[in-house]
């Protein structure tokens, strides 16, 4: 116990000696180190103005890149901190934030440190900054409008290119000129440039996000049932249509791309699915006093679809995530059937004609839009259980030909599915 107390005092002393470096330039590891000396494992921490480092748990729902305030739990107690209350804080995944004055902001802000060194790369609220130890310079890009010979033009100005060239002036800046010119207004491009600058000059630096994956990829398997219904698109007057069985079976597998480093609420699903439907199409048409036509055909439909969905998390608590999504799928189907039966009752003569012929045909839909609501839950250490409800619309999906009377129908589907994410 005495050794742990001594170690804690030693860390606090070192922090007090090096705190001034946290604002700019190369940051000593003792400041951003997230290894708890007691547990020996990476943990979230906060650093008080005094330099004291306290390990605990940041109560964040998502792995955000920008924090306006911080809810932190340590020793069973929870407190909320604003930027003026802390010197810095760090997360178990190596994200590191320090308190700074940001151009255009009246109050102090938690600024994420992406790269620290002779030149420091910072990020706050979708804005990038270069800290040269004297001032914090925003790396800007913007559109301007002008006229040439009376024609309006819109031009994209990469003002950050000039800022980078000035701040990296010297032999290495000259050597890196092409890379600077090609640098996009993106996190990865900026990080690579700052790393190249320090390596060229032989200067120490630390990249604070290298251990954070750009995204996570998880295989998924799922199965469920669907409820389908016909929607008339082009039918005869007094014609009634329907399916006697409206339940289908769905199976899907694929990949889920989630926990993007900059956009933790967003996920993408890439899947391959199969839907099986065995039903009977039924139709009845009546021309009062003239004819009654009834038709039915049993068919088996096998559909292969390739859906891509864009999802947005709307609620997360205790590792339970609720999300909504927009999907689009390429849809290919095949229909096999026994010959349909058509009954034509001529009311005036009392005669009834029976015909055996194909009734239902369909078309492949290159694009099927859909909406979904889903939730996933932890299932052990490495797997998650998820459920989804999805609504799809297949426009002009079926066509029928009943005694030269052609009709078209859309199909809507509501599916309930359950799956496992590995």
Q: What is the pLDDT of residue 20?
A: 33
Closest CA to 250 of 385, 416, 77: 416
CATH 1.20.272 holds for 216-421: no
Q: What is the pLDDT of residue 374?
A: 97
What is the spatial distance between Cα 117 and Cα 120, in angstroms, rounded to a whole number? 5
- Please state the φ and ψ torsions of residue 284, each to the nearest 5 degrees: -140, 130
Q: What is the pLDDT of residue 26?
A: 65
What is the spatial distance between Cα 385 and Cα 413, in angstroms, rounded to a whole number? 23
pLDDT tens figures, 95-146: 999 999 999 999 999 999 999 999 999 999 999 999 998 999 999 999 988 7
- Please state the φ and ψ torsions of residue 52, each to the nearest 5 degrees: -70, 135
- Could you tell me the CA-to-CA distances from 305 to 154, 319, 329 in Å, in that order? 41, 30, 6
Per-residue pLDDT for 4 more than 70? no
Q: What is the pLDDT of residue 25?
A: 60
DSSP structure string for 75-129: TTEEEEE-GGGEEEEE-TTS-EEEEEE-TT-SSEEEEEEEEESSSEEEEETTEEE
Per-residue pLDDT for 363 more than 60? yes
Sign of CA dihedral 377, 380, 382, 387: negative
pLDDT tens figures, 61-97: 888 889 999 999 999 999 999 999 999 999 999 999 9
Whether residue 53 contacts residue 96, with contact meaning beta carbons closer than 8 Å, is answered with: no
Residues ≥6 apart with Cβ < 8 Å to 338: 297, 298
Q: What is the pLDDT of residue 358?
A: 92
| Mean pLDDT, the chain, integer | 90
Whether residue 111 contacts residue 124, with contact meaning beta carbons closer than 8 Å, is answered with: yes
Where are the chain's structural domains?
2-207, 216-421
Whether residue 208 contacts residue 231, with contact meaning beta carbons closer than 8 Å, is answered with: no
pLDDT tens figures, 390-399: 999 999 999 9
pLDDT tens figures, 178-229: 999 999 999 999 999 999 999 999 999 999 988 788 889 999 999 999 999 9
Structure token digits, residue 158: 């990469």
Confidence (pTM): 0.73
Closest CA to 344 of 291, 407, 400, 288: 291
């Amino acid at each position: 116990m005495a050794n742990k107390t001594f170690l804690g005092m030693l860390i606090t002393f070192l922090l007090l000696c090096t705190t001034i470096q946290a604002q700019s330039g190369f940051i000593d590891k003792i400041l951003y180190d997230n290894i708890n000396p007691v547990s020996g494992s990476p943990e979230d921490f906060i650093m008080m103005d005094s330099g004291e480092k306290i390990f605990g748990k940041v109560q964040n729902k998502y792995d955000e890149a920008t924090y306006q305030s911080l809810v932190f739990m340590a020793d069973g107690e929870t407190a909320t901190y604003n930027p003026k209350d802390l010197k810095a804080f760090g997360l178990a995944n190596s994200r590191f934030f320090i308190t700074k004055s940001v151009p255009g902001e009246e109050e102090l802000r938690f600024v994420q440190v992406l790269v620290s060194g002779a030149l420091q790369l910072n990020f706050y609220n979708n804005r990038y900054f270069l800290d040269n130890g004297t001032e914090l310079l925003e790396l800007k890009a913007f559109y301007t409008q002008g006229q040439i010979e009376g024609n309006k033009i819109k031009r994209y100005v990469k003002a950050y290119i000039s800022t980078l060239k000035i701040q990296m002036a010297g032999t290495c800046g000259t050597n890196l000129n092409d890379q600077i010119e090609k640098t996009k207004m993106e996190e990865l491009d900026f990080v690579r440039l700052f790393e190249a600058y320090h390596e060229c000059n032989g200067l120490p630096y630390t990249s604070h996000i290298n251990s954070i994956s750009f995204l996570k990829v998880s295989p998924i398997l799922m199965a469920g049932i669907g409820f389908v219904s016909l929607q008339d698109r082009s039918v005869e007057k007094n014609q009634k249509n329907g399916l006697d069985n409206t339940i289908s079976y769905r199976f899907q597998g694929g990949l889920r791309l989630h926990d993007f480093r900059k956009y933790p609420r967003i996920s993408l699903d890439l899947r391959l699915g199969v839907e099986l439907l065995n039903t009977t199409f039924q139709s009845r048409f009546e021309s009062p006093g003239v004819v009654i036509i009834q038709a039915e055909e049993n068919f088996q439909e096998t559909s292969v679809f390739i859906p891509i969905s864009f999802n947005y998390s709307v609620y997360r608590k205790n590792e339970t995530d609720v999300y909504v999504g927009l999907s689009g799928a390429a849809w290919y189907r095949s229909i096999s059937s026994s010959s349909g039966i058509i009954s034509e009752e001529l009311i005036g003569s009392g005669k009834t004609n029976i015909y055996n012929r194909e009734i239902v045909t369909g078309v492949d839909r290159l694009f099927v839009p859909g909406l979904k609501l889903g939730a996933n839950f932890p299932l052990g250490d490495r797997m998650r259980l998820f459920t989804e409800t999805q609504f799809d619309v297949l426009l002009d999906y079926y066509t029928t030909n009943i005694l030269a009377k052609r009709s078209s129908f859309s199909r809507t589907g509501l599916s309930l599915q359950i799956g496992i994410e590995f």
